Amino acid sequence: MRDQTGVLKVEMVVIDVDLDFVKMLPDLHPGRYVQLSVSDTGVGMDRATLEQIFEPFFTTKSVG
């Protein structure tokens, strides 16, 4: 979105996870959770960047 006008959307909602939902994700326990969603209208990222986005200290910026 650097060279274009775009929209960055951040949402947080409280969700109640029930036993039916836990059947799909067995590592999850029933209860209340906060769901964080982030979206934008940008063009996306290449596969190499996408594969690294959750690595600590990952950046696409050059040194300095």
Predicted pLDDT of residue 26: 86
Q: Residue 33 is inside which H or E element, if any?
A: strand 31-40
Residues 6 and 41: beta-carbon distance below 8 Å = yes
**Whether this model's pTM surpasses 0.75:** no
Predicted pLDDT of residue 1: 65
Residues 49 and 15: beta-carbon distance below 8 Å = no
Residue 41's nearest CA partner among 7, 11, 9 is 7
Predicted pLDDT of residue 39: 93
pLDDT in tens, 6-60: 899 999 999 999 999 999 998 999 999 999 999 998 888 899 999 999 999 999 8
Predicted pLDDT of residue 4: 77
Residues 38 and 10: beta-carbon distance below 8 Å = yes
